[in-house]
Structure 1
Amino acid sequence: MTPTLHDVARLAGVSIKTVSNVVNGHPHVRPATRAAVERAVAELGYTPNLTARNLRSGRTGAIALAVPDLSLSYFAELAGMVIARAEERRVVVLVEQTGGERDRERELLRSPRLGLTDGLILSPLGLDATDLAARADAYPTVLLGERVFDAAIDHVTMRNIDAAQAATSHLLASGRRRIAVLGAHEDDGEGAAGLRLQGHRAALAAAGVAFDPALVVATRFWDRSGGADAVRDLVARGVAFDAVFGLNDTLALGAIRALQEAGRRVPGEVEVVGFDDLDEARYSIPSLTTIDPGRRWIAQTAVDMLLGRVADSAPGGPRVLTADFTLRVRESAPGLSRR
């Protein structure tokens, strides 16, 4: 006979409701009780009837995740973290790529494909407040990223300005004064590039170091080639610099490659700091000092927040939650204490 919830509850010595809470990933279950139910599930080989459950609840058991580009390590790793949390909560994730283009992001908000899911986690690059204001209020949505809109939508973001200020302050504390910034975008006051540049300038001002626009290099793409080309441009123009702040890790990793090609020792002659704490940052040579912006917390919080809205159990109105950050000090910018 196929084991049932009743069988699991009897073996674990708990109520059917408690078994249901554990199976459905509800967080408010005592660890000892959860462990007892999970042992009973494993012993009996119990498998939830997802089709029946979804028919009863009127839900699909799936959520959507839309990111600009999965070929970028940041979004690939973020998607993996979202999927891992969703698996813990017993839901599946359908992933979409938007290219960061406004038209494709707007199309996604209107797409009938969203009818296959219970809610959406969206990392927008092109949308503006009017696009979001026109969205259907009945469809649960959580936004990720830097651009906090004046719209009635849950949002999980990061402390870009404070984190960038910490990155630059770390370089200044080790005596660096000519800090090149890679990855600036024109007219990007509200996006990641603009916010992180603000943090960089705030650190310079606090240290009494003049801002030099010649040290800020714009790049079209935030990838390794963009970082490498930016360093080559600085060297070709004869701009003196003793440190590099890549506005993301891939820019910083590309910069390290170009510095090595130019015979500039890292960190001896030039210290390098990134932003994102990608997995590969620990394994580059030298390993990359970087900002961990709290991506795992962001991913887990976004899933939990969305599922709370789906279940209509999230308290209050729309919320904006901000992750804490950590400076991960490694070989590319060891700081005075590591020398």
Structure 2
Amino acid sequence: MNRPGRWGGDGKARSSTVVTMADVARFAGVSTMTVSNVINGRPRVGAATRERVLAAISELGYQVNLAARHLRAGRTGVVGLAVPELERPYFGQLAGRLADRFEAHDLRIVMERTGASREGELNAVAFSRLRMYDGLILSVVDIDPAELGQLRTDAPVVMIGERALPSRFDHVMMANVDGARQATAHLLATGARRVAMIGGDPGGSATMPALRAEGYLAAHTEAGVSVDPRLNVPSTFRLQDGYDAIRSLIDRGIGFDAVFALTDVVALGALRALADAGLRVPDDVQLVGFDDIDEAPYLIPSLSTVNPGHEEMADAITSLLIAQLSNGPTGEPQEVIVPAQLITRGTTKPLN
């Protein structure tokens, strides 16, 4: 049916016109409340009426104004995700998992980079309201626990990170020590006796490198195998660092028959260095990473690694933040430690 005025002769809204819910209601011959019920998935609409409203929405090109909806509710519809780096696959894949979950709540994820610095992390919390986030998910690397307790913000916040952080914020953690222990124990159980560790920080504070080094050392103690301190190669967590660590061991003549890389990205660099040195994986040198990034099964050979509980972590983060958004402060801050699981693939030998 043709419509005068704002509609063209084909019955569709002109491109310069914003179509409103009232327009859809008039076009479908129903009330505005009925259109709202259809858009929000409420059950109080008959099938035939629902189909007529959906057809009108399609015909007119109506789009729900989520921004206006959220602002009327005192929200922006945006959740901030502040992470150390945007380049690391782990954080990109975490963002994807969280985006899937928050979209079910009409919320969108916006990422920002802290640079793994104290200043960047503190600013992410302090300015979260100015950036119009309804809530913030912060990956903590460098903030001192005492500083967290002094932060003044009324925004819902969930911390993620590698270490225990006594504070007033909910916190979701990986089982770093146990994951590293599982990885190293598997290498020792399959016959390795000189396991190099790339990126560990034995004796350091409760950071990720220190916690994973703790698990590495615990596995050696349990197996009754001594550790050559020269097998720990300090490193950051780029591809090149994994490559350089292996070259350093070879160039210094330090023998090793297995490698525990603290992240999968480091493991990728190590795998290439081993190939360039003519060392076969896993026959000559076994290799285990940590993170179970999406690319791990597709390497040649496929990468054995520690899955830190990706889905469970995303579920916990979402649940905690949605609870704060819905109900306000939830009382005592919650700390959730997600179990880790070793995934054995082609870079390690099978157990006898």
State the partner residue of 1:176.
192
1:103-141 Cα offsets, whole Å, 9 max, x none, are 122222222664511110000211112321122242111
2:344 matches 1:333: no
The answer on whether the counterparts of 1:178 and 1:243 sit within 8 Å (CA) in structure 2 is: yes
Measure how far apart 1:9 and its partner are.
4.6
Picking from 139, 149, 158, the partner of 1:142 is 158
**Equivalent runs, 1:191-270 vs 2, <5 Å:** 191-219=207-235, 221-270=236-285
Q: Any conservation in 2 of the 1:186–1:218 contact (CA below 8 Å)?
A: no
CA pair 42-307 structure 1, distance change in 2 beyond 3 A: farther
SS state of the match for residue 199, structure 2? strand
Asked if residue 277 in structure 1 is aligned to residue 299 in structure 2, the reply is: no
- Code of the residue aligned with 2:289 in structure 1: it is G
Root-mean-square deviation over aligned CA pairs: 2.5
Secondary structure in structure 1 of the residue aligned to 2:96: helix
CA–CA distance in structure 1, aligned partners of residues 292 and 171 of structure 2: 21
Matched, 1:312 2:327: yes
Output the TM-score relative to the length of structure 2: 0.82
Q: Deviations over 1:11-64 (max 9, x none)?
A: 978359xxxxxxxxxxxxxxxxxxxxx999967758644244323321111111
Whether 1:163 aligns to 2:192 is: no
Q: Quote the residue 1:31 is aligned against.
A: none
Match among 114, 117, 125 for residue 98 of structure 1:
114
- Contact (CA 8 Å) 1:173, 1:335: kept in 2 or not? no
- Find the residue that maps to 2:109 and give its secondary structure: strand
| Structure 1 residues 84 and 13: alpha-carbon distance in aligned structure 2, compared to 1, 3 A threshold | closer
Structure 1 residue ranges without an equivalent (≥5):
17-37
Q: Residues 329, 59 of structure 1: CA spacing in aligned structure 2 closer, same or farther, 3 A cutoff?
A: same
Aligned to 2:79: 63
Larger Rg: 2
Q: Is the 8 A contact 2:200 2:213 kept in 1?
A: yes
Distance in structure 2 (CA, Å) of the matches to 1:269 and 1:39: 65
Counterparts in 2 of 1:225 and 1:9: CA distance versus 1, 3 Å? same
Instruction: Check whether the contact 2:171–2:334 (CA below 8 A) recurs between aligned residues.
Output: yes
CA 1:121–1:112 in structure 2 vs 1: closer, same or farther (change >3 Å)? closer
d(CA) in 2 for partners of 1:39, 1:143: 44
Between the aligned partners of 1:49 and 1:78, the Cα distance in structure 2 is: 27
Does the 8 Å CA contact 1:64/1:117 hold for their aligned counterparts? yes
- The letter for the 1-side match of 2:332 is G
Once the two structures are superposed, what CA deviation does each residue of 1:268-295 show, in whole Å capped at 9, x if it has no partner?
A: 0100000000111111111100001012
Percent identity of paired positions between Structure 1 and Structure 2:
40
Q: Which SS does the other structure have where 1:279 is aligned? A: coil
Which structure exhibits the higher relative contact order, with contacts defined as CA atoms closer than 8 Å and separated by 6 or more residues? 1
**What are the residue-to-residue correspondences of 1:35-74 with 2, within 5 Å?**
45=57, 48-74=64-90
Q: Distance in 1 between matches of 2:201 and 2:277?
A: 25
C-alpha spacing 1:268/1:139, structure 2 compared with 1 (3 Å)? same
Quick one: structure 1 residues 68 and 13, their matched pair in 2 at CA, closer, same or farther if it must change by over 3 Å?
closer
CA distance in 1, matches of 2:161, 2:192: 30
| 8 Å Cα contact 1:170-1:335 kept in structure 2 | no
**1:8 touches 1:44 (CA, 8 Å); kept in 2?**
no
In the alignment, which residue of structure 2 is the partner of 1:295?
310
Q: 2:43 aligns with which of 14, 25, 49?
A: 14
Contact 2:84–2:116, Cα closer than 8 Å, also in 1: yes
Give distance in 1, aligned partners of 2:137 and 2:145: 17
Secondary structure, aligned partner of 2:164: coil
- Give unmatched runs, 5+ long, in structure 2: 1-22, 26-31
Q: Structure 2 vs 1, CA of residues 293 and 52 (structure 1 numbering), >3 Å: closer, same or farther?
A: same
Count of residue correspondences: 315
CA distance 1:258–1:144, shift in 2 (3 Å): same
Could you list the per-position Cα deviations for residues 289-308 of structure 1 after superposition, in whole angstroms to 9, with x for gaps in the alignment?
A: 00010123212321231121
